[in-house]
Amino acid sequence: MKLRRSSAVAAVAVALAATTAAVYPRPPADRLQPMPALTARALAARYSADARQIALASAAAHRAGNTALAGSLAAMRGRRFLDFNPRGQGLAVEVLGNLATATRVAILVPGSDTSLTTFDSRGTASPGGGGAALAAAARRLDPGAHLAVIAWLGYPAPSTLSPAVMTSGDAGQGAAALRPLVNDLARHGRRVALLCHSYGSVLCGLAAPHLPVTDIAVYGSPGMDAPSVRALHTTARVWAGRGTGDWIRNVPHVRFLGLGFGQDPMAPAFGARHFDCGSGGHSGYLKPGSIALRNLAYIALGDPAGVTR
């Protein structure tokens, strides 16, 4: 009796959380800037303009006493950002490598609890650190490759402890923001791979239909809001990986009353290509020296033969 009562209470709580998220949705994210021409001159102008905005935002955060944000923004100085917006949780799109001469571009799409404050603070589990680790691994595997990596915080990622993390609302906003970037890159002749972590894999699933990408790799995924690769309506190679130490394997892969994200991408019925992620946990996929990072680097390079499964 106590177990049934507890289950009923939990179900009501979840339903209330979903109703709250639906009735009081988060405001739309600020729009990303249109991408400049992919020339050295145009990109340098964009990087310079965003560097000035980062410096101004860092100074403002320092004056406001927000030392965590000020420190994070200070660490961004001297790096190249294709986009930056300090409002709200903030948006930041960092480029690692030469986007003007790249023939391939790998876009890292992060999951929950990611903001300007955490863009670098969690090491390789953050977009900044993860992007740098991926770029370095790819250079080691293929020093002559013309690859650029984009660490993409282009949407307001939900908090792990919020009702929003159980729904695809924020992921839908992110998908709408990601698609124009991918389309622009493809129009300029770049071959694009999406590498999507955790809640970011929900975003990539929503963005996937008919998107001009060669590969979509999801890791630590709660689901892609789709029952199968076929339902993604993509010609891309779809990869799925999960470390044996990742707690997300215990998340129920269901969709009910707008909650959850459906089939487990690791399930045989989903139809994804698996890649080995070793024994790492939920935050360890881009850790230097890991098999997960090596395989993600091969996917970024467009070399499926190098991926261990």
DSSP secondary structure letters along 156-213: -PPPTTSGGGGSSHHHHHHHHHHHHHHHHHHHTT-EEEEEEETHHHHHHHHH-TT---
Least confident of 2-16, 65-79, 230-244, 253-267: 2-16
Task: Quote the pTM value.
Answer: 0.89
Greater confidence, 163 or 273? 273
Q: pLDDT tens digits, residue range 57-96?
A: 999 999 999 999 999 999 999 999 999 999 988 999 999 9
Report, as an integer, the average pLDDT of 182-193: 97
In Å, the largest CA–CA distance within the chain is 70
Average pLDDT of the chain is: 89
Considering the domain boundaries, does residue 285 fall inside one? Answer: yes
Name the residue type at position 259.
Answer: L
In angstroms, the CA 174 to CA 156 distance is: 7
Q: In the predicted model, is pLDDT for residue 174 greater than 80?
A: yes
Considering the domain boundaries, does residue 99 fall inside one? Answer: yes
Two structure tokens written together for 168: 């695809």
Two structure tokens written together for 304: 């499926």
Considering the domain boundaries, does residue 9 fall inside one? Answer: no
- The domain of 124 spans 29-306
Considering the domain boundaries, does residue 259 fall inside one? Answer: yes
- CATH number reported for the structural domain that contains residue 100 in this entry: 3.40.50.1820
Q: In the predicted model, is pLDDT for residue 19 greater than 80?
A: no
Q: In the predicted model, is pLDDT for residue 20 greater than 80?
A: no
Considering the domain boundaries, does residue 23 fall inside one? Answer: no
Considering the domain boundaries, does residue 22 fall inside one? Answer: no
**Sheet order of strands, 104-109 included:** 81-85, 91-96, 147-153, 104-109, 191-197, 215-219, 237-241, 273-274
Considering the domain boundaries, does residue 13 fall inside one? Answer: no
Inter-residue contact 243 to 279 (CB < 8 Å) = yes
The structural domain count of the chain equals 1
Considering the domain boundaries, does residue 34 fall inside one? Answer: yes
